[in-house]
Chain A
């Protein structure tokens, strides 16, 4: 009985692409498209995921000659993905497309309802609703692009300072300071929201 065909290693595909076989890049794309989209989706709105994921693969293709291969390709791709999300927010803030929007009354009443849930399962049931997405944008939209990324990665995702620093290309000390300040700022905005001021602004 013959052995099933072995799928080529990332390194082999990269070497083929670098040798001029551009179509081999499709293998990398198919292998990692869901992975990249899952990363990007954590940091940018659903409507922008495809656009940012596309930029990630284009940037990856351009940077392939600089891929040293000391670490797995997947880690390198994660780094490019996180930085593309950071760049997306910097661009949005520069164009002033991030609006300090007010929250609708229905989002505020949804929040009250969600907070009355006790268990993680009850939280999760509420998390997939439209209001959840609005709340995320409202809360994080009040932070600077870098602080937004840092607070999401460190406080909401629970990544380590070192890992966050590496993914964003910042120093660990910088991330530590930002994480502290940004969380304080985020909590202040949540406090305002709970006091009923968030909707008035």
Chain B
């Protein structure tokens, strides 16, 4: 049993040595050119995206205003604000002749 454990530990040590001593591949010029080409493409894409879309701050302002308008509308509907009713109730506070043109004797 002990012998088994020793042999397993030796395999583990061998694995560690394999990992440590395997020679790493040398970077080639072609590989480097390929990486740089991809990076230049990425930079161009980013540049294009930045120039096409307006500044982020403008987007943020527009979105904030849209959300605020939506909230105000929802609240107004929720408290039962109806413009026509409001105007009629204001008119009803005045004598009838003020709200009816024919009462001026025209």
Contacts and interface: CB of A to CB of B under 8 A. Distances in A.
Interface of A: 20, 22, 25-26, 29-30, 33-34, 37-38, 41-42, 46, 49-50, 53-54, 57-58, 61-62, 111, 114-115, 120, 123-124, 126-128, 132-133, 135-136, 139, 152, 155-158, 186-187, 190-191, 193-194
A29 B21 contact: no
Nearest to B30: A50
Interface of B is mostly: helix
Contacts of A20: 43, 47
A79 B52 CA distance: 34
Contacts, number: 111
Contacts of A61: 39, 42-43
Contacts of B16: 155-158
Interface residues on B, range: 20 to 34
Contacts of B19: 42, 136, 152, 156-157
Given A29-B35, A33-B27, A136-B15, A190 B21 contact: no
Contact of B11 (A29, A46, A50, A111): A111
A199 B72 CA distance: 73
Contacts of B13: 123
Given A61-B42, A127-B21, A158-B16, 19 more contacts: A20-B43, A25-B36, A34-B24, A37-B27, A41-B22, A42-B22, A54-B34, A58-B38, A114-B14, A115-B7, A123-B13, A126-B14, A127-B17, A132-B22, A139-B15, A155-B16, A156-B12, A186-B12, A190-B12
